Structure 1
Amino acid sequence: MDAIQLPKSWSVDRILDDLDQHGFSIVDDAYETEYIVDLIAECTHNLARFRDAAIQNGIVSNIRSDHILWLNPDLKVSNQHVQMLEILGQALNRAFYLGIKDVEAHFACYNAGEFYALHKDNPQGKNGRMISSVYYLHDEWQADWGGELRLQDKNGAWHVLAPKPNRMALFQSDLLHEVLLAKHQRLSITAWLRSDSGII
């Protein structure tokens, strides 16, 4: 069996350089059309299973209003994306000695009017999240639909990244970021490359 390889659009050297210089990287045209169609189908087929992400362990958060479904090996299409991130994690370990051991991920759905306020995925190194990833899997996005990722890079500069279809954003998990108010349903896979085993 041939070893699984990253898509050609995932230029590892460029990703490593971007992360080193700025703390984030953008990959456009991440996957081939056939895979995207299957991935969107898997996500939308399971939308009824999504839960309110603001409620965790019975506690309601007021900083987010999206809905999520944690990925597992039974979701075979999206699991291929997780496998790609695992391969990328090995390259990140070789370059930055991050000690990445695991990838945790979920589908995310932001309906019109939903958002995620300013936060860090790993504040003050309190968990094993090293690199965060957002892959946008809706098949269309217009400029006035909102839902952008607003991110402060490692040098203190702010960036507003449009959720273009088939785009992936990678960034250090200790960077400040937020999802601006969506005005249209916005679908994605959010993932974290971790230096421990993620607890879902």
Structure 2
Amino acid sequence: MQQLSVLNSWNIDDILDDLNLYGFALIDDAYPLDYLHAVAGECIENLQRFRDAAIQNGVVSKIRSDHILWINDQLPIAHQHILTLEQFSQQLNRAFFLGIKDVEAHFACYNAGEFYALHRDNPQQKNDRVISVVFYLHPDWQDDWGGELRLQDKHGNWHIIAPKTNRIALFQSDLLHEVLLAKQQRLSITAWLRNNNPILN
């Protein structure tokens, strides 16, 4: 698949300003619709391969009930999103000296009744996750379908972020957040930009 080139359509200055001021930012209409449809199709075609995210090393977690599939170059359409995030990481490194070195990502499916309770992606900086990125893939979303991202910004204020189709939400991985109960199937790619350095403060 041809390399995507979307960064010139993103308002990078606004994204960096919002990350600096609040610890999170939104990108609406992130990708061309043909790419959105292609990556959503790849996600749906592979749903039978998803595993229960609540089960890790045989232990069942009670804070989440979603299903995931890790992305590699064997999922070439989704992998284009990872390559885009690698390019975007260079902008973050220049702006904030974050030293981001790699990107990890998985598809996520929240079926009706599924959720992810309050947590941090980098609790007490115990892993290398610096920035978390959620890209919403589902073809449509209505306000009463739930599945919102509830996020506490760096000043302690809470925000409800709707999982709008073709939206990217990105935020500091140490911020407290949750995914509210979904009432319809909610599809996304969750990614983490990783380094070995302290994150924004």
Task: Return the TM-score normalized by structure 2.
Answer: 0.94
Ranges of 4+ aligned residues in structure 1 off by more than 4 Å: none
In structure 1, distance between residues paired with 2:88 and 2:11: 10
Corresponding letter in the other structure for 1:13:
D
Corresponding letter in the other structure for 1:15:
I
> Which sections of structure 2, spanning at least 5 residues, go unmatched?
197-201
> What corresponds to 2:109 in structure 1?
109
Equivalent residue pairs, number: 195
Query: What are the superposed Cα offsets for residues 18-69 of structure 1, whole Å, 9 maximum, x if unpaired?
Result: 0000000000000111111111110000000000000011111000000000
> What corresponds to 2:76 in structure 1?
76
> What corresponds to 2:186 in structure 1?
186
Task: Return the TM-score normalized by structure 1.
Answer: 0.95
The two structures, once aligned, show a CA RMSD in angstroms of: 1.3
> What corresponds to 1:62 in structure 2?
62
Query: What are the superposed Cα offsets for residues 49-99 of structure 1, whole Å, 9 maximum, x if unpaired?
Result: 000000011111000000000000110000000011001111101111111
The alpha-carbon deviation at position 7 of structure 1 amounts to 3.7
Residues 3 and 80 in structure 2, CA contact (< 8 A), matched pair in contact too: no
In structure 1, distance between residues paired with 2:95 and 2:147: 32
Residues 135 and 168 in structure 1, CA contact (< 8 A), matched pair in contact too: yes
> Which sections of structure 1, spanning at least 5 residues, go unmatched?
none
* SS of 2:164 mapped into structure 1: coil
The alpha-carbon deviation at position 3 of structure 1 amounts to 8.3
> What corresponds to 2:48 in structure 1?
48
> What corresponds to 2:177 in structure 1?
177
* SS of 1:127 mapped into structure 2: coil
User: Does residue 141 of structure 2 align to residue 125 of structure 1?
Assistant: no
Identity %: 68
In structure 2, distance between residues paired with 1:19 and 1:145: 27
